[in-house]
Amino acid sequence: MKIKFLLLSLSVIFNVISCNGQDKKDVQLPSEKVIPSSITDNFSKSENLYFNPEEKQIFSTALNENLGKFTVYYLPVSKVDINYFENFENENNIITLYDEVNSLSYFSTADVKKINEILKNKIKSENNFKLVGTYIPKKYITVENRDEYHIDFPYSQKYYKKENGKWIFLFEKKIIKQEDDSIFNSKKYINSLVSNKKDIKNSKTQYQIDGRWMINCENGVGSLTIEGKNASLILLYNQVYIDMTELKRFDFENGISYKLKEIPEDIGNIGRNLNWKEYINDEPIAYIKMIDDKTYHFYWYGFYNKKTKKREFKENSFQQETNNEEVILKKCE
C-alpha cells in the first residue's frame, strides 16, 4: 500500500483522504541538490507556512530529493493565540473551499498567499510557539515527477522538538498503515509530544493492563508483564530482562509510553556489551496502544543513548516471533 502526494502550485490540500485513498499535500521540491551539514537544518528550508483548516494547525513542509520529507508544526502557547488560530479563517476573512468529489478541503491560490503572509508575521518570534518536526527518509519516498510523489507503507518517521534554539531527536516510529499515518501526524498526537509530564497524573482513562502479555500465550517466547505503572520485558529469547516505568499516557488513542527504569541485573552475554548507563534517561523505549482490553499494539523503539543521541538495540523477541510488521500482544490469563 502507498500514500500518494501531489506537489500543487495553485492550492493546498490538507490531510483529508479522498475516495481513491490518496492524501494530497503541498510541498516544495528544491531545484538545487544541496546536502546540508545536519539533517535538522532542513526544518528551516521551507519558505512558506500553511494552515490546516481541519485541525486548525500551522505547519511548513519541504521535500528534498536527496534526503526526504521535512515537516514542522507550530503549536501556539498562549490561550490568546490558541483561540485566535481556532477562529483563524473568520478572523482573517478566509474561505475554506471543499471538493465534494474527492472529499478534500483547500484554499484558493489568493488565500494561500494571504495565509502565508499572515502566518509569517505571527511567527516572527518562535518563543510564542512550541515546534515539533518530523522527517521521513528518502528511501521511503518515490518522486515520480515534479508534480507528484508517493510514500509506501510501512515507512519510518523520526520526531524532533525544538528547545533553546536546537532540534532534539525524540524517537523514531514505524507507520504501518493509513490509520497510523492519520493518528501519528494528528494535532492531538503532535501536541502530546511537547505537553507536560503531569499528564500521567491527570489521565482519566482506565487501562486494564495488569498481567502478562505475549504474542502466543501457549508457546510464545517474549513476554511483557505489567503491574501498575511498572513493566518488565524479556528481550531476545531470554537473553536480556529489563524493567520499565511509565513515561507518559496518550489518552486520545489509549496509549502508554515507557522508559528504562534501571540498569538490569540479568543482562546475559549480549547485554554485557551495552551502554546501560547511557540508556537511563527520560526518552521512551517502548509504547503500547489498546485495541481492546485483551489486545494491544506493541512498539519497540530501542534504547536511547543520551551520549550519542542515537537508538541502539532495536530488535526484540516479539519481532522475531511474528512474520507481520505489526506486533500485537494478547493478555494471557
pLDDT digits (tens, 9 = 90+) for 243-266: 999 998 888 778 899 999 998 876
In this structure, are 162 and 280 located in the same domain? no
Q: Pick the more confident residue, 128 or 37.
A: 128
In this structure, are 206 and 325 located in the same domain? yes
What domain count does the chain have? 2
User: Cα separations (Å) of 134 from 98, 171, 227?
Assistant: 27, 10, 33
In this structure, are 138 and 257 located in the same domain? no
In this structure, are 99 and 20 located in the same domain? yes
In this structure, are 112 and 224 located in the same domain? no
User: Cα separations (Å) of 329 from 39, 205, 209, 249?
Assistant: 35, 20, 11, 18
End-of-domain residue from the set 140, 175, 192:
192
Quickly tell me which residue has 532540534 as its cell. Answer: 167
Q: Pick the more confident residue, 69 or 6.
A: 69
Residue 61 has pLDDT above 60, yes or no: yes
- pLDDT for residue 30: 40
CATH code of 229's domain: 2.40.128
In this structure, are 165 and 231 located in the same domain? no
In this structure, are 151 and 182 located in the same domain? yes
In this structure, are 161 and 240 located in the same domain? no
In this structure, are 224 and 114 located in the same domain? no
End-of-domain residue from the set 134, 158, 192:
192
In this structure, are 182 and 49 located in the same domain? yes
Nearest to 329 by CA among 285, 299, 309, 305: 299
Q: Pick the more confident residue, 6 or 67.
A: 67
In this structure, are 220 and 144 located in the same domain? no
Q: What does the alpha-carbon distance between residue 302 and residue 304 come to, in Å, rounded to a whole number?
A: 6
Per-residue pLDDT band for 110 (boundaries 50, 70, 90) equals very high
Per-residue pLDDT band for 144 (boundaries 50, 70, 90) equals confident
CA angle 137–53–120, rounded 5-degree value: 70
Per-residue pLDDT band for 236 (boundaries 50, 70, 90) equals low
Quickly tell me which residue has 541485573 as its cell. Answer: 265
CB 122 within 8 A of CB 39: no
- pLDDT for residue 18: 33
* Lowest-confidence segment of 27-31, 139-143, 186-190, 285-289 by average pLDDT: 27-31
pLDDT digits (tens, 9 = 90+) for 288-332: 988 888 899 898 888 999 988 888 888 777 877 876 667 899 999
pLDDT digits (tens, 9 = 90+) for 157-206: 999 999 888 998 888 888 988 888 888 898 888 988 887 555 445 555 66
End-of-domain residue from the set 192, 217, 247:
192
- The residue segments making up the domain with residue 211 are 201-332
Q: What is this structure's pTM?
A: 0.57
Q: What is the mean pLDDT of residues 227-249?
A: 83
In this structure, are 232 and 171 located in the same domain? no
